[in-house]
Structure 1
């Protein structure tokens, strides 16, 4: 058993160092059979340590601690702007939408100026501030415990408010996205609130630039199949886009 545990640790380290490894390569390197390596990879994937692919495995990157929203506004600014504009085209006059917190969702809010009779529910103070002066938008702010670093409101009050409302679309961003690990976030209380938000509407639209993919954070929100559409930028790896489309998720490249 000890040998098996040590081998698993060494295989994980090898994959992290090389970012990718084939079964034949691992078999030769560690001096064990290919069926043994496949079983080891299966165990590591179940533990959330790596992501298997045909013939081998790739490293699953842990999402780094997220800096406060005020420091992220300029990150991938051009890509987020394109994502925001493309997402706004998916929103129709007269709809009720939920717009979650984050810098990418704030870009969506910037492109809602010409919508008519739109109802926007949000738990984000920056988005509320963006929309409050628009008379064509019926703005509903959930209330809740303010998470100062994110300008967002989380916790029981948000969750209770959403139980009293209905929306056509939920538009959210996420700390980390992985086909295997799903949608994940770092803050435990925010993760619980996100679980309620994801179930708030018939259609879930995820907005995320390419830096969010193939990563995992500690708090599980939902599987990737909870999402109906993903709006991302054209730097998102083609194999990830194809995998998502193979799962009947509509991927829009902005």
Structure 2
């Protein structure tokens, strides 16, 4: 019964916040007839789900993931965090493996750290990744083909998906527009969403690389639940609450500060 009451209260709080856009904890406490500590615990749960955003003394409606700037502009954003994530992800790749590298600025940082790997096979649907790896003689490069999504320099659609269905990788390293505990991995573009679903199925292990700005947000199209990935590599600025909740789902979360212990 307590669980049902809590679930109903969470839904009610979410509805109120969406209507008001911003409301104080004291107001919610008075309106729902429960203590402020209870409201704060509820808001913590809703924030981890990506439903609301807590602020000092109150709460506002969750930030929805909007259309990102083109990939060439995003390359300068959180550059150091992406580089550290890229180095850590590359350290997990073994000589002789077959990996899939998806599109994005963080996956490009992974590609930049593969120069010392031997007998590696890389499958990619990302033009920027393919361009960077094209002259690396230690890497066998497989490009999926497909319809180019210009803003992302990615290849999507039926051709890319059919190619991926005929291939298998040891690891798939992907990025995602938005990640939340409740809605999982979500994306803006519906066609890219379908391609991403096929990507996730082509590898024995799926590794998500995502800096702190990707979490607690929800985009329009659901790609997969968070548990579709086995590992998440993020930076040290991702909140401890989010990291703990992801680990509670059975997902291994790695951060650059842990690299020295690996």
Please say whether Structure 1 and Structure 2 have the same fold, judged by a TM-score greater than 0.5: yes
Instruction: Please say if 1:10 is aligned against 2:16.
Output: yes
Answer yes or no: is the 8 Å Cα contact 2:14–2:51 preserved in 1: no
Answer yes or no: is the 8 Å Cα contact 2:65–2:218 preserved in 1: yes
The alpha-carbon distance between structure 1 residues 180 and 49, as it changes in their structure 2 partners (threshold 3 A), is closer
The alpha-carbon distance between structure 1 residues 8 and 245, as it changes in their structure 2 partners (threshold 3 A), is closer
CA distance in 2: counterparts of 1:186 and 1:158, whole angstroms: 18
TM-score (norm 1): 0.84
- After superposition, residues 92-241 of structure 1 pair within 5 angstroms as 92-241=94-243
- After superposition, residues 14-93 of structure 1 pair within 5 angstroms as 14=20, 16-17=21-22, 21=25, 25-28=27-30, 30=31, 32-34=32-34, 50=51, 59-93=61-95
Answer yes or no: is the 8 Å Cα contact 1:50–1:57 preserved in 2: no
State the aligned residue count. Answer: 235
Answer yes or no: is the 8 Å Cα contact 1:11–1:26 preserved in 2: no
Q: Which consecutive unaligned segments of at least 5 residues does structure 2 have?
A: 1-11, 257-262
TM-score (norm 2): 0.82
CA distance in 2: counterparts of 1:141 and 1:150, whole angstroms: 15
2:155 counterpart SS class: strand
Return the offset for 1:61.
2.0
Residue by residue over 1:151-191, the C-alpha shift from the partner in whole angstroms, topping out at 9 and shown as x without a partner, is 10000011100111110000000000001110000001001
Answer yes or no: is the 8 Å Cα contact 1:12–1:50 preserved in 2: no
Return the offset for 1:247.
1.3
2:206 counterpart SS class: strand
Return the offset for 1:245.
1.0
CA distance in 2: counterparts of 1:217 and 1:209, whole angstroms: 16
Answer yes or no: is the 8 Å Cα contact 1:204–1:229 preserved in 2: yes
Residue by residue over 1:103-154, the C-alpha shift from the partner in whole angstroms, topping out at 9 and shown as x without a partner, is 0000000000000000000000000000000001000000000001111000
CA distance in 1: counterparts of 2:169 and 2:13, whole angstroms: 50
CA distance in 1: counterparts of 2:181 and 2:242, whole angstroms: 8
Q: Which consecutive unaligned segments of at least 5 residues does structure 1 have?
A: 1-5
1:92 counterpart SS class: coil
CA distance in 1: counterparts of 2:203 and 2:59, whole angstroms: 35
Answer yes or no: is the 8 Å Cα contact 2:125–2:155 preserved in 1: yes
Answer yes or no: is the 8 Å Cα contact 1:144–1:158 preserved in 2: yes
